[in-house]
Amino acid sequence: MTDHIQYDDAAKALKLLDQRLLPCTEETFVCRTTEDIVYALQTMVVRGAPAIGVTAAYGCHLAALEVLAETGGEGDWKTKLLEKLEIIAEARPTAVNLRWAVVRAKDAWDAQGDVSLPGLAAAWLELARTIQQDDIESCMAIGRFGGALFNDGDTIMTHCNAGALATAGYGTALGVIRGAIDQGKHVQVIANETRPFLQGARLTAYELHKDNIPVTIACDNACALLMKKGMVQGVVVGADRITANGDAVNKIGTYGVAVLAKQHGIPFYVAAPLSTIDRDTPTGDDVPIEDRTPREVTHVGDVQICPTDVPVYNFAFDPTPNELITAIVTERGVLRAPYTESINKAFDEAGL
């Protein structure tokens, strides 16, 4: 599943599978401007840290085309373009891949020297395509390393959606599951529904069912019982940001699943590429946590389920402390505690 993020050269537009409408409706959301990209990111037309990064990379290219149309590549186009890049970088605060992609675009700009705006736009399109392909390859490597951690017959729990839809393709957490299957193992999945946006029930179940991978949806508050009954042999989740000490910031509820896994002696794995690791942020408690619209909690679709005017907590993410994480699976291998050392070693070996 790699066709949910497509750049249309003829239309000069980015076409995204609108994940808000899944699983019942498959429609394309078309981005032609910076405003379109930001809207798609903020409303979760596209979501998942690596997919956000890929979208942001194409957004930089579209921003260049937009400024070219406005200025003809003359005058103070550089200032206008930098303003649009910052707007993209600030669209969502938690997923580190967003700003990472924009920084890569800026670095490529610096490396070009005195480049014209059309030349920069073309270079950024190639960069976005490279980031997209690299992400697919990284996810497949994560799958190979992570798949080896599970046994034939295991039932694996996951929280939120860290699959093909959350990446350029294949997936991180679901990449591990696909990797185990590619290694000839028969595994099945418990997909936590993941309130309030229901990424597990809507998206994880959608793509696993589409790939004929056995999946059962569970209410978030059934985790403890399922673990106590011996129905879960391992947990694997993705991450929107992993900090320098190995804390993992993922969809709200992940911390609770990790606590329950620890209580029941179940391994808890985090799967993410090195681009999701933010060595400039010391711990998970230092990461800005997005507080989203109350409507996602007070309504299911268009149906209101809460009393009007009652306050809502809708924090989108929570940090899972590193001591609850059995290992972090990356495209460079499986990292284990002490995480500061293993993370730095992985970056050094990757030449980053």
Report the amino acid identity of residue 333: G
Question: What would the two tokens of residue 315 be?
Answer: 């924090």
First and final CA of the chain: distance in angstroms? 29
CB-count exposure of residue 184 (10 Å: 0-12, 13-18, 19+): exposed
In whole angstroms, give the CA distance from residue 237 to residue 249: 10
In whole angstroms, give the CA distance from residue 200 to residue 74: 48
Cα dihedral 27, 33, 38, 39 sign: negative
**240 tagged catalytic:** yes
Is the link from the previous residue into 196 a cis peptide, with omega within 30 of 0?
yes
Active-site residue identified among 135, 220, 240, 318: 240
3-state secondary structure of 137: helix
Q: Of the candidates 238, 210, 17, 12, which has an alpha carbon nearest to the alpha carbon of residue 146? A: 238
Q: For Cα atoms 271, 168, 40, give the angle at the middle one, nearest 5 degrees.
A: 105
Catalytic residues: 240
